[in-house]
Structure 1
Amino acid sequence: MLRLSFTQKSGLLILALLLAYALGAPLLQSGDATTQNLSQILTAPNADYWMGTDHFGRNMWLRLAEALQLSLMMAALCVLTSALIGVTAGVLAATRAPWFDRLMDGVVTMILALPGLVLVLIFAAIVPGSFWMLYVAISLIQWIEYFRISRAITQRLTQSPAVQSSQLMGFGEWYIFRRHYWPAIAPQLFTIAAFGAANAILMMASLGFVYVGIQPPLAELGLMIVEHFSYYSDAPWLLAQPLIALALVVLACQLMGRGKSL
């Protein structure tokens, strides 16, 4: 059973609070995150607009929640997909014929030939503003870490007496994976997943900075920071909100990854 350290619990708490806000905000205040009200431009936080309005009079309480939903969904999808592909490929590379291991090593080398963000930019340029294209691009990069860890652990275990005994007794590959490989791989995945989630969110925000990521009127943290920067003197709270949200969600993931399990 996975036991979390105090640092990891702190990160999990911050992430839970952000998720609760992202999902619960639309239930607490009616409206739409994209509806413009030009008579309420740059309104400071008040009883009607709890976090004020942006330069188009849109409700920041709802827009920030939508942006967090998008970021957290991207992180979750990338982590799940990357882990599934990486662990599967890593175990197969370590247990199959040597030619398959060499093939996978060549694939990894080709992907690593370009910096990760550059590769994501190339995919984003193919279909600008597509959430799913960004998801594919980020997952294409992140599965490599899961692959490397899974292959290294599996290669070490294939020659262990426990695995060889199971093979001699006629147990299938699924049983061997579930009984021997997975218990050794799983503890390492939590840290990789936490840092991977933070990187996925930062990558999507970075694309928003250069206007090749999620496009308006959808709310995305990186895009919101760029859009609001021009108003930092007239409405400083407007720029601070997405900055703080981005910092908190990345901090939560980093804390969950840095803490050591007991």
Structure 2
Amino acid sequence: MVSNAVTITRLLGWGGLIAIVGAAAMGPYWLAHDPATQDLFAILLPPGSSGHWLGTDHYGRDVLSRLVHGSRLSISLALLTVACAAVPGVVLGITAAWRGGWLDRVLGYLTDTVMALPGLLLVLLVMAFAPGQALTLFLGLSLTLWVEFFRVSRSLTRTRLATSQVEAARRLGFGPVYLLRRIVLPHLLPQIAMLAGFAITTAIVAIATLSAISVGLQPPTAELGTLIAEAMPYYADAPWLVLAPSVVILLFVLSIQLLSGERRHE
């Protein structure tokens, strides 16, 4: 029963993720409408009208095209953010655990300082230098997320280095490269992969949230958060404008959570 449940969870997670990422990656090549093209004679058309599968917005732009391009931008930003947070976080975490001493203390103080600030506040402080820019949004989120990768990497590496297996390998003359490649990383990478999954969901929700409250990316940029922000004044007349990007965010986050949770229970 447990095995069947895990299999179903994996299938649902991969199915949702492949569908969303595939549509975001390949959609721009087969969609008939440009996401920026306006048609003021076809505003707020309901789904299925005049070849617009998900209708049009208040400028007559095709909702499906903007949704696909918005998903592409949101997912790309989230992946780039997590990659730029994970690499330095893991490298510094392993280095701090391996070297110890003053380096470990300095990095520990730095992470404590970052964690003392609310995550969104740190992002807002960075974005104050260039509001509405993708670069500052990405940098702010990366500075917030790298701390978790550092803490997990340092803790797991420190625990692993204290085992008898590492002590025996050192007595046999094996160097740091062997210890890292054969003993530390095989134990560390599955946990980092699971953490990266949760970080991606955090990043995509944060990007959409900041854009939805007009702090992140700004219209007319097609991003899931900006689609929601633009659609809110028309929710009573065209609820699909808000529901479409909201459902995409929900399904993407749910798919990642299913895969991350399934890996955690393996």
Structure 1 unaligned residues grouped into runs of 5+: none
Of 90, 94, 97, the match for 2:97: 94
The 1-side partners of 2:185 and 2:211 are apart by 37
Q: How many residues get paired?
A: 260
C-alpha contact (below 8 Å) 1:125/1:212 kept by paired residues: no
Deviates more, 1:136-145 or 1:153-162: 153-162
The 1-side partners of 2:175 and 2:133 are apart by 42
- Where do residues 215-226 of structure 1 align in structure 2 (5 Å cutoff)? 215-226=218-229
Match of 1:122 in 2: 125
Matched, 1:74 2:77: yes
Summarize the Cα distance change of 1:188–1:97 in structure 2 as closer, same or farther, 3 Å threshold. Answer: closer
C-alpha contact (below 8 Å) 1:5/1:261 kept by paired residues: no
TM-score under structure 1 length normalisation: 0.93
C-alpha contact (below 8 Å) 1:87/1:146 kept by paired residues: yes
SS at match of 2:93: helix
Of 18, 24, 32, the match for 1:30: 32
Deviations 1:219-251 (A, max 9, x none): 111221121111122112222111111111111
SS at match of 2:96: helix
State the one-letter code of the partner of 1:7: T
Deviates more, 1:51-60 or 1:40-49: 40-49
Match of 1:12 in 2: 14
Alpha-carbon offset, residue 64 of structure 1: 0.2
- RMSD between aligned alpha carbons? 1.8
C-alpha contact (below 8 Å) 1:121/1:207 kept by paired residues: no
C-alpha contact (below 8 Å) 1:8/1:258 kept by paired residues: no
The 2-side partners of 1:29 and 1:141 are apart by 36
SS at match of 2:137: helix
The 2-side partners of 1:170 and 1:44 are apart by 71
State the one-letter code of the partner of 1:38: L
- Where do residues 113-192 of structure 1 align in structure 2 (5 Å cutoff)? 113-192=116-195
Structure 2 unaligned residues grouped into runs of 5+: none
Deviations 1:170-203 (A, max 9, x none): 4332221111110111121222111111100111
Query: What percentage of aligned pairs have identical amino acids?
Result: 37
C-alpha contact (below 8 Å) 2:219/2:230 kept by paired residues: no
The 1-side partners of 2:139 and 2:152 are apart by 21
State the one-letter code of the partner of 1:208: S
Match of 1:210 in 2: 213
State the one-letter code of the partner of 1:6: I
Alpha-carbon offset, residue 161 of structure 1: 2.6
Point out which structure has higher relative CO (alpha carbons under 8 A, 6+ apart): 1
The 1-side partners of 2:162 and 2:254 are apart by 40
TM-score under structure 2 length normalisation: 0.91
The 1-side partners of 2:176 and 2:229 are apart by 51
SS at match of 2:128: helix
